[in-house]
Structure 1
Amino acid sequence: MRNQHKQLKIFRRRKLKQRIAMVVFILGLLVLAYEPLMNLYIEYSVEKTLVEEVKPLNEVIAQDLEQTDLNKPVDTYYDMDSRQIVIGKLAIPSVSLKLSIIKGVGQENGDPMEKGAATNKEGQEMGLRNYVLSSHAMKDPTLLFSPLFNVDYDDKMYVTDEENVYVYNVTAIETVEPERVDILDDVDGRQMITLYTCTQAGSKRIVITGDLVETSEYIEKTATYFNN
């Protein structure tokens, strides 16, 4: 009887070890699969957003004003719009970057920076003041803002609202602490663009700044910068 009880305990321990080993194996597979699956999801989201219709910013602002309580104080100048409206496109040909520009960094309906480049400030307009965009950096060097790590001085950056194309020349590349919120600020008399993303370690940010050098009409020739 004691021998049977001992064998039963050994059997149960063996089964428990097998189950633990299976759980560890499955968790290992999930960890290994996470990054490739996330990359596929990001790639799909970017491609899907790139074919969405660009909505004119003036129409979006007009709708916002109709629904705004002008007596309500404004808590922040960050654009927390969570509707994920596509208001333009961004292209940096030198590093093969093409993304939709999404209004706002609000995340109630998902993270807009998993689909494209998000505007940061309320009321920012292409070609005026400091036009700020942010997105994620991935281990895949082709996704989202990962190509920014290969941008060089004097590279051209293009943004469009599909009415005009605004061309910026890269004038500064720097790595800053996350607390450097002054990168969002306007600079008197300067029409510029700021693109930023976290480094792979996540402890700092790479910031690409460019000055406006040209504004042209969005026509077949200039549209080629943004087409796949």
Structure 2
Amino acid sequence: MRTLKNKKSILGILFLLTGLVLVSIPLYVEWNQNKEVKAMEQALSLIAQSDGTEPVALEEIPNLTLTEEELMHVMELEIPFIDMKQHILEKTTDDNLNIALTQIKPEQVPGVGNFTVAGHRGYRDGRHFSNLARVPIGEKVYLHAGEDTYVYEIISSEVIEPTFVEVLDDTQGKNEITMITCTISGKKRVAVKGELVERTSRK
């Protein structure tokens, strides 16, 4: 009887330890990602403050994974309805998706054709595109690119198959934005599309 109780105790401890490991892995990954995000934000701040006459000392920033050239092309996406403001990196790679949103198609131009953006759901609520599916039709999305801001109005939100890449195509005569993320299960994709309604400039 005592041996059986000991085995149950050991199994209980093993289950507990396994649970702790499973919980801690995403937290550890997110902790590392947060360091990279902070490094990117620090680098962007230094570049913004620079007058261009001297090189920016980006090599002194720990955990920075992006080059100065990559940072020069960073944009920002703002969706007030879900209180989201995220940077957009120029290329979609696994590393880039871990720290920010990314452009899906190469050499995209804001306000021209179908500007496509990808993003993870994130481990926690509010990170990346975790709340993208909640954005209703009629809400505004703001794409900040340099001195210009492109305002889009949401016109559709749907769940699609991962193979339905046609959602990224340009529509003749329309300037749009298409934002893509995974469903909770990861088996399908959420595609939210907006149409350009305004462009403003701070120049």
| Structure-1-length-normalised TM-score | 0.68
Aligned-pair CA distance for 1:141: 1.8
- Contact map agreement 1:162 1:218 (CA 8 A) in 2: no
Q: Does 1:38 align with 2:29?
A: yes
Whole-Å separation in 1 of the counterparts to 2:146 and 2:100: 16
Aligned-pair CA distance for 1:44: 4.3
Whole-Å separation in 2 of the counterparts to 1:145 and 1:47: 18
Aligned to 1:174: 158
TM-align CA RMSD: 3.0
Whole-Å separation in 2 of the counterparts to 1:153 and 1:50: 31
Code of the aligned partner of 1:29: L
Consecutive unaligned residues of structure 1, counting only runs of 5 or more, are: 1-16, 56-81, 220-228
- SS of equivalent to 1:178: coil
Between 189-198 and 157-166, the greater mean CA deviation after superposition: 157-166
Cα deviation digits, residues 173-201 of structure 1 (max 9, x gap) = 00000010111111111100000100110
Of the candidates 84, 108, 113, which is equivalent to residue 97 of structure 1?
84
Consecutive unaligned residues of structure 2, counting only runs of 5 or more, are: 1-7, 48-64
Whole-Å separation in 2 of the counterparts to 1:191 and 1:41: 37
| Structure-2-length-normalised TM-score | 0.75
Aligned to 1:145: 129
Aligned pair in 2 of structure 1 residues 44, 151: CA closer, same or farther (>3 Å)? farther
- Contact map agreement 1:191 1:211 (CA 8 A) in 2: yes
Aligned to 2:53: none
Code of the aligned partner of 2:175: Q
Q: Report how many aligned residue pairs link the two structures.
A: 180
Bigger radius of gyration: 1
Aligned pair in 2 of structure 1 residues 152, 47: CA closer, same or farther (>3 Å)? farther
Of the candidates 149, 159, 168, which is equivalent to residue 165 of structure 1?
149
Aligned pair in 2 of structure 1 residues 42, 142: CA closer, same or farther (>3 Å)? farther
Aligned to 1:8: none
- SS of equivalent to 1:36: helix
Aligned to 2:171: 187
Aligned-pair CA distance for 1:35: 2.7
Whole-Å separation in 2 of the counterparts to 1:38 and 1:184: 30
Aligned pair in 2 of structure 1 residues 208, 53: CA closer, same or farther (>3 Å)? same
Whole-Å separation in 1 of the counterparts to 2:66 and 2:37: 16
Identity %: 26
- Contact map agreement 1:191 1:212 (CA 8 A) in 2: yes
